[in-house]
């Protein structure tokens, strides 16, 4: 199978987008999950529903509203462009932000579930020893929630690699800047280049299977280790 430079460039851009989006979203999701589980918030159910909306909302709907919001013709887009010189429509930065929004529940929900399962006795013991909330989060909650955090990381990375609707509307088809593998498959099929589409599809399929399979193996080890304690 002969791979040209454009093919490699598109795959590298796809993995770059997935890596940056996943890394940035990890910190956002840990903060959100902590607030949802351990902080008394007004209208908490409303915010939890808002975070989970990308799970049920058609990507084209979310992509449309992000496109409108990021456009320099609207208040948010104009503010970002005039203040920071940042153009989010049809740019890699816009793809990162859009990917973080569409993948928010894929990272936040597993971490929230893992935080909820951490023993309250361990948390109370940490507070009794004089540890503050940040120290307790770092030394007690996060280590005991590592299976959920790993699940969020893997699912977010894999989903970002395969996301189509939102990245199509926000990013477009700029080779080396916004053209990711899922869009390249669509373009290849439209051009009747089925061999190229198969190459992209096979790489995404193999990658998704490997990361999900690895996740199951690692979580199985976690479960076995916890059962032995």
pLDDT by position in tens, the chain (length 229): 445 778 999 999 999 999 999 999 999 999 999 999 999 888 899 999 999 999 998 888 888 998 888 888 888 888 888 888 888 888 899 999 999 999 999 999 999 999 999 989 999 999 888 888 899 999 999 999 998 999 999 999 999 998 988 888 888 888 888 899 999 999 999 999 999 999 999 999 998 899 888 888 887 877 776 665 5
Query: How high is the pLDDT of residue 1?
Result: 46
Query: How high is the pLDDT of residue 171?
Result: 85
Query: How high is the pLDDT of residue 70?
Result: 86
Query: How high is the pLDDT of residue 89?
Result: 86
Write the CB contacts of 30 (distance below 8 Å, at least 6 apart in sequence): 111, 142, 149
Query: How high is the pLDDT of residue 81?
Result: 84
Burial 121-153 (b: 16+ CB within 10 A, else e): eebeebeeeebeeeebbeebbbebbebbbbbbb
Distance CA 22, CA 108 (A): 11
Looking at 139-193, list the stretches that DSSP marks H as alpha helix, in order from N- to C-terminal side.
Answer: 142-144, 146-162, 165-171, 181-190
Going along the chain from its start, the domains and CATH numbers come out as: 5-37+58-223 (1.10.3720.10)
Query: How high is the pLDDT of residue 83?
Result: 83
Distance of CA 16 to the CA centre of its chain: 12
Contact predicate 106/152, CB 8 Å: yes
- For every residue of 76-88, DSSP letters joined together read HHHHHHHHH----
> Which pTM value belongs to this model?
0.89
Query: How high is the pLDDT of residue 156?
Result: 94
């Amino acid at each position: 199978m002969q791979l040209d430079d454009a093919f490699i460039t598109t795959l590298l851009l796809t993995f770059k987008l997935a890596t940056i989006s996943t890394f940035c979203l990890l910190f956002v999701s840990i903060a959100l999950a902590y607030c949802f589980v351990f902080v008394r918030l007004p209208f908490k159910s409303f915010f939890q529903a808002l975070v989970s909306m990308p799970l049920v909302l058609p990507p084209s709907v979310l992509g449309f509203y992000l496109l409108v919001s990021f456009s320099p013709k609207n208040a948010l887009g104009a503010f970002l462009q005039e203040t920071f010189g940042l153009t989010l429509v049809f740019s890699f930065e816009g793809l990162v932000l859009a990917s973080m929004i569409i993948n928010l529940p894929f990272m936040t929900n597993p971490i929230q579930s893992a935080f909820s399962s951490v023993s309250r006795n361990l948390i109370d013991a940490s507070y009794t020893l004089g540890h503050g909330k940040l120290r307790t989060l770092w030394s007690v909650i996060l280590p005991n929630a590592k299976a959920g955090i790993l699940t969020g990381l893997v699912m977010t990375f894999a989903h970002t690699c395969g996301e189509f609707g939102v990245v199509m509307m926000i990013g477009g088809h700029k080779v080396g800047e916004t053209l990711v593998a899922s869009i390249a498959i669509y373009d290849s099929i439209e051009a009747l280049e089925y061999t190229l589409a198969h190459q992209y599809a096979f790489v995404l399929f193999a990658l998704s299977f490997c990361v999900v399979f690895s996740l199951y193996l690692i979580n199985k080890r976690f479960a076995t280790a916890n059962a032995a304690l």
